[in-house]
Amino acid sequence: MTVRMVVNGKQVERDVEPRRLLADVLREDLDLRGTHLGCEHGVCGACTVLVDGKPVRSCLMLAVQADGAEVTTVEGLAGENGELHPLQQAFSDHHALQCGFCTPGFLLTASYLLEQGIDVDDEAALREALSGNLCRCTGYHNIVDAVRDAAGKGK
């Protein structure tokens, strides 16, 4: 089946088998390997991308379901000239990653939360909102600090 999507601002069209996951098509067909696959059953959040502006687990979505959608992966966060997205800069500044495996998913979830105007001063609510993304390395403190910083309210 032909799937047409706008991925990171570019129109793409691919023939894909209906059984294939969005994550696999992004990684294997479009070579966007910043979308990571961890659990592959909707638990870890590593595969999070934005579909029509909302966070989606791309390991649970078929590529054909994204037909006609706008998809943003971590590769689409930086500016056209390569300048880091404020969240990427904040993650770097706050050492909010170690192995980095979870980072693309966190960045996309956090970008959605900031877009939605989450109150980053409510740390409990922010932690709850980020809780769909798992990190095995950082203990989360620096991730929360980074998101707050990116919102212009850093410590």
What residues line the site for ligand FES (CB under 6 A)? 37-40, 42-47, 57, 59, 97-102, 135-138
**Smallest separation, CB 66 to ligand FES (Å):** 15
**Smallest separation, CB 87 to ligand FES (Å):** 15
Q: Please report, to the nearest 10 degrees, the dihedral formed by the alpha carbons of residues 84, 102, 45, 75 taken in order.
A: 30
**Smallest separation, CB 7 to ligand FES (Å):** 18
The residue among 42 and 53 lying less far from ligand FES, judged by its C-beta, is 42
Kindly state the DSSP code that residue 102 receives in the 8-state scheme: S
CA angle 38, 5, 82 (to 5 degrees): 70
C-alpha count within 13 angstroms, C-beta hemisphere, residue 84: 10
Q: Are 92 and 100 in contact (CB under 8 A)?
A: no
Q: Are 110 and 130 in contact (CB under 8 A)?
A: yes
The residue among 42 and 152 lying less far from ligand FES, judged by its C-beta, is 42
| Longest distance between any two alpha carbons in the chain, whole Å | 49
The residue among 81 and 108 lying less far from ligand FES, judged by its C-beta, is 108
The residue among 111 and 138 lying less far from ligand FES, judged by its C-beta, is 138
**Smallest separation, CB 47 to ligand FES (Å):** 3
**Smallest separation, CB 45 to ligand FES (Å):** 5
The residue among 139 and 152 lying less far from ligand FES, judged by its C-beta, is 139
Task: Tell me, rounded to whole angstroms, the distance of Cα 63 from its chain centroid.
Answer: 16
